[in-house]
Amino acid sequence: MTFFRGRRLRRTATMRGLIRETRLHRDDLIQPYFVVETDDPGFVKPIGVMPGQNQLGLNALKERVGRAVDQGLAACILFGIPKQKDASGSQAWAEDGVTQQAVAAMKQAFPDLCVITDVCLCEYTSHGHCGLVSDNVSGQEILNDPTLGLLTKTALSHARAGADMVAPSDMMDGRVGAIRSALDDEGFTSLPIMSYAVKYASGLYSPFREAAESLPQFGDRKTYQMDPANRLEAFREARADLEEDADLLLVKPALPYLDILRDLREAVDVPLAAYQVSGEYAMIKAAAQNGWLDEQTVVLETLTGIKRAGADLILTYFAEQVLEWIK
């Protein structure tokens, strides 16, 4: 009797390694950092809902990033938390704003590090939404077109500070084209845009909103982030951003939307990123701290699954740890 003997190629660790189809590499990983505008550059505040992550002052950020770069970190994305917030989020594009200062400091200290910036208003607005707000007869509304100019100013300020890539995460219609046009007009034709093209209105963002101090003060973000039930809409969003000249597309969150990631991988030929978001991180951390699972095993398994589904790049709060595990 003959039958398939798949176990022949699983017999030893060396054999399994020889035929491994998907490999996680340190260059695949992007570590997010939360940088705070503070008079204490050494400021470090642990984020309770995200064990191992912190809000950081500029010097503390530099120290932490330096350790990660020594381990092989190739890229990071910065989220800024200003001292003062207002209705328009004006500190988002301030020349001496917290993100702008952080970009300049990172590029001076680590010129080879790819520094990506989050382009959004939610961390900077007093109401916590990603766009301007208007009151009308039916209630408060997030305004699309008037927000585009503010996002454009924010992206330009990041470019002037030295960012290697900008990543609009707001989900306003038309923002990629507006940002691309403004960057080109100012001579930043070589600066790529990583668009949060497919960003679902997920419950898994809750820890991030505490970390970034960006909880909406009214309502939710369902009028501009995508309905988790929708698959075909992802193609429309991706096509729109590609037509507006996005260079990379991002799917967020990662694990609940691996089917979407695979769909896009088969449909487009640009690099794809996926964001293993704060809730995904927090769940794994909590389970590991309770002894319910082995953290390293599960982290590497989930990240490998994200890459296998089609991601070229993965934004993950585990990046620093993984750099130590996959030397």
Residues with active-site annotation: 199, 252
The C-alpha R_g of the chain, in whole angstroms, comes to: 20
Give the DSSP H/E element, type plus range, for residue 315. strand 313-316
Alpha-carbon distance of 172 to 232, in angstroms, equals 18
Angstrom distance (rounded) from CA 147 to CA 69: 35
- Round to whole Å and give the CA distance between 308 and 258: 9
* Helix, strand, coil percentages in the chain from 3-state DSSP, rounded to 5: 40, 20, 40
How far apart are the C-alpha atoms of 175 and 189, rounded to whole Å? 16
85: helix, coil or strand?
Answer: coil
Taking alpha carbons only, the member of 199, 266, 203 closest to residue 234 is 199
Pairing of strands 139-143, 114-119: unpaired
Q: How far is CA 197 from CA 134, 156, 164, 270, in A?
A: 25, 20, 19, 12
User: How far lies 62's CA from each of 38, 67, 179, 309, 314, in Å?
Assistant: 14, 9, 28, 33, 22
User: What are the structure tokens assigned to 56, written together?
Assistant: 């950081």
For tokens 């500029």, the residue is 58
Dihedral over Cα of 285, 286, 291, 293: its sign: negative
